[in-house]
Chain A
Amino acid sequence: MNRISFCLLLAMNYTFNQNAYADVTAAELLEKYDKIMGPAQFESEMDMTSNREDGTSRTYSMKALKSGDDKFRIWFTSPSAVSGQEILRIGDNSWLYLPNLKRASRLANRDSFQGGDFNNSDILRVNYTKDFDGKIITSEDPSSYKLELKSKNKDTSYDLIHLWIAKSNFMPLKGEYFGTSGKKLRSAEFSDVKEYSKSYTRPAKVLMKNEIVPARSSILVVKKIKIDITPAPQKFLQTDLGKG
């Protein structure tokens, strides 16, 4: 009798544990991450501060507009050195518009975003579902899921990503980004979860640490963000660059 109940308990325990993982799949977690970090469309105001190895730091302010999976636009507003610069992403192509030259030049995904530790695709191309295969692996921290994301194609700027997601609210906690060699290139911490609207909550702050040069890091702070918008299609035309 005792033995039977023990076995039953064991079995139940096993099932529940299984359920704790089985109730959500890696694909679902990725989808949630994409929804939180890169909603289908949004309009936002952000600051990116990059701390350099020489001890200096610089803060760039920008407005961003996203439409669908593959369209993104950024207007830099300060400091004056970059004010008037714009970025437009359409699909796999991105351009940086320089007001002094009145011309747009191509940006590569791997290039760093305004000389900081985010690269362009970190900011402009948040769509892990499309770019990565995810699987849930054992997390060191029982309150979080740990995802291992393996790149699906050669175009992603990272080969492998480890992503920790809170079990309680599905908010991302931290990330680690690796090169093909297996070397850790960057690590991120997501913090300051903030409810921007009733339907939208996300970490307001992303700290991106440069693992190659540890004295370098960059912080992205989302000051305002609205997701219930309908972006005007003409904002995502190359001819609109420089028109504000």
Chain B
Amino acid sequence: KPINSQFELMPPPYSLSSLEPYMSRQTLEYHWGRHHRSYVENLNMQVTGTELDGMSLEEIIIASYNKGNVLPAFNNAAQVWNHDFFWQSMKPGGGGRPSGVLMELIERDFGSFDVMLRELKLATSTQFGSGWGWLAYKANRLEVGNALNPRPSEKDNKLIVARTPNAVNPLVWDYSHAYYLDYENRQADYVQIFMDKLVSWETVSARLEIAMTRAAERAREEEKQREEDEDDMLDSEAVEMYLDSDNDDSEPE
């Protein structure tokens, strides 16, 4: 009997009307109840019976991104993940200012909270077509295929602002269906309200902590790997030297 791992539509961590008046119940009904739902349903149809069946959502996203040559399931899988993440990025009575490590990093990496805000607004207003704006913690990785960056730069291990087209994700604006019913073409108002009234800095802080821990763990593992590789290299060099000296011995003096 084949195992069908079916994804489910995860509800937002608040009631549909609790973001009123900044994001209306009607917007949530459509954006969560219909758009998000159809990404989930289509993903389930696409995945069933394929090699992606049984993988976690993150695994499907990475496998179907296929290093840039995206497979059909990518758009739906990534949009499901992006929307889960987006709903959790907000809360009733959100907004205000972050605190703790998050605020320290924002001030360290952007200069000030207001500069970060300006960059986020710029990133989203210059996103042409559908897409997302993100606040992301950049580890020491290349943007392509999550490869290790051989040339670490000062942009590593810090907070950055990014924007991505369509379903691509590296966190927090959406298609016009996220704001059209409430804001029509006033995208700038939507972004401002999101920052002032909706964003959940608690969630963002918690994610940052996880991201930093993960990045540090990865760095430690890679350091260990490098040391082992170097040891291996030293070992093999030693063998060669031994052979060389062997040869030396056989050479006439």
Do the two chains bind?
Answer: no
Chain B contacts to A: CB under 8 angstroms: none
Chain A contacts to B: CB under 8 angstroms: none
